[in-house]
Structure formats: structure tokens, C-alpha cells
Amino acid sequence: MADGKWITELTADTPLADAARRVLSVRLAVVHHYLPLAMRQADEDIEYVHQLRVATRRAGAALEIFSVCLPEKELRKAKKALRGVRRAAGEARDWDVFLDGLPGGKWHSHRLLPVRDLLLGYALARRVAAQDVLANASPNYPFAFERFQAETVAAVHKPKTEPEMRTLAELAQPMISRLLQELHEAACGDLDDYDHLHQVRIIGKRLRYAMEVFVDCFAPSFKDELYPTVEHMQELLGDANDSHVAHQRLTLVRGRLEALRPHDWRRYRQGLESLCRYHEDRLVEKRKEFIGWWQRWQETGGEENFRALLKPIVLEHNGASDATPHATHEAFEPNV
């Protein structure tokens, strides 16, 4: 099944409530598809868990994007249902990434093999426990989930708090502009602070998922040039996050082993400290790569051209143009 990244049948002129129903239907259908595979068949293909995690993130982003089209009660209920599945899939996926990241060939030294076996056993045990949680992430599946899915889509209505937002394009411009500004402000902060870098990653993820929903509101370069650039940024920050999580878990193992098994600590010390240094260095490296990406993005006018691509919707909304967003945006091809 397709991952549902790009949603067909949408245009800039699609009524907002219709767009909300279409996007939520597709996003929740992908969750519905991968949920039983991840719950019951994860041993056959670890990608099932990965795809479920991504699907819940995209569905959660869709709820945020179209929150003006959902009653508050239904919105809270839908967020809660997805949050439980996302967290369960996330924990299992993090252990899959940790296991996949255990070094291979260079661990054939007799002195380092013990710590490899230690970490393999530890991570597998945690992964099994995480799978047990994931297997119970959606009680009474498929009936409860299908009911939630149908009720959420059925609850969609025309925007009441934002009556001037009639079409998808009228929601797209202010939302993308706001997310782009939030990314700019966050990326100009202290990137040596990991917590702050993590916030940049979260905002970038929101921007990416919003771009997927609004892609048909803008010129082809929005998808062909800007989206891959934002996607690359997310990959850099994702690699940094993987090393941060791995370092945290290795530090925990190291501390507990040293405290509880001091006589065994000597056997594992060299390997654990070597792995900790590797992830410390990798985190620094990926942070530098992101900073380099950000500087090039600014120097080449990437952000400026991104903003220019959004301006015609404002002009049209203010009555300055009667052209469609597709035709108007063609003059604003970004150069990134």
C-alpha cells in the first residue's frame, strides 16, 4: 500500500471541509493498514513498525492542520487515540534503530565482542517488551479503530472560527508562512543546545507534513525543489536525534553496569566508552551539517524564494489578482 504522502484529487480551490475529509480519510486509512502489520507481524518486516510510526505522525499533523474543521471534543479524542499508537510504535522503532546501529565488522576484536553481545541482548529484551506494548496499542482492533476513523471524518464541518477560510489555498498560505517563520526563529537560536536543536527538528517536521498536504496549492517547484530540500534537512536532524537517543541509552547501561556489576564493568568499559564517543562525535557532525545546510539555504535565497512562492495567494485573497494560484505562482520559481 502507498504511504499516502501525496494525496490526489485536491486543488487550491477545493472547499476546506472537503479537503479535510479527503486528507483525514487517506491519512487514517494508512494507519489502519499498517496497524495490524506492526502489531502482529513485526517479526516479518521491521518496516511495518516504521511505516506505522510515520503514518501516525502524518495523521496527527493532518488533525492539527484541519483543527478549524473539527469540534474540540472530537479533535481531542482523535489526538489521544493516535498519540497512544504513535508512542507505542515509536518506542519499538527506536529499539530497531538502536539494534541496527550496533557496529559490525570492527567489533570482531576479542576484547570488544563481549560488549557487543551485552548490548545485543539488552536491546533485544527491550525490543520484545516494546512489541508487547505495541500489540495492545489498539484494543478491540479493528472495530474500535474503524469506529474512531469513521467518527473523526464524519465530524468534519466548515470552519466556524475562521469563516474567511473557504478553500484549501486560503488555509495553506498563512499556515506555511507561520511554520516557515517558526523554523527561521528556531534555527537562529543556540544550536549547540540539543534541546533547542530538537525543537528545530519538530518544527521542520511540521513544515514538511504541511507541505505534503498543500502541495497542489502552489507551483510545481514547491514539490520538485523545495520539498526535497526540507526533506534533506529532516534527514540530517533525524540522524542527529538517533545518535542522541543512542548515547542516552548507552550512558544508562554504562552507569547501571558500573554500579551493579563493578567486577564485570572492566570487561565492557572500553567498548561502551568507544560507542559513547562515536555517538557524541556523530551528533556534533550532524549538527555541523545542519548548520551548513542552513547557511547555504540563507545564502542562496532559499527562504526568500520560499516566501515569494507564497505571496500570490495573499494578493489574490486581497483582490489584487483574479488568477488561479497555479497560474500566479509560476512566476516564483525558487532557486535553492
Listed by start position, the domains of the chain span 11-159, 167-316
- Where does the pLDDT of residue 75 fall: very low under 50, low under 70, confident under 90, or very high at 90 and above? very high
In the predicted model, what is the mean pLDDT of residues 25-38? 97
Closest CA to 27 of 44, 10, 43: 10
Closest CA to 158 of 298, 15, 5, 264: 15
Distance between CA 43 and CA 250 in Å, rounded?
25
pLDDT for the residue numbered 120: 93
Stretch (H or E) spanning 99: helix 72-100
Domains 11-159 and 167-316 in one fold: yes
pLDDT for the residue numbered 161: 73
- Output the CATH code of domain 167-316: 1.40.20.10
In the predicted model, what is the mean pLDDT of residues 198-209? 96
Closest CA to 208 of 237, 229, 182: 229
Q: Tell me the whole-structure pTM to 2 decimals.
A: 0.87
Q: Give residue-wise pLDDT tens across range 208-259.
A: 999 999 999 999 999 999 999 999 999 999 999 999 999 999 999 999 999 9
Distance between CA 154 and CA 69 in Å, rounded?
11
- Output the CATH code of domain 11-159: 1.40.20.10
pLDDT for the residue numbered 106: 56
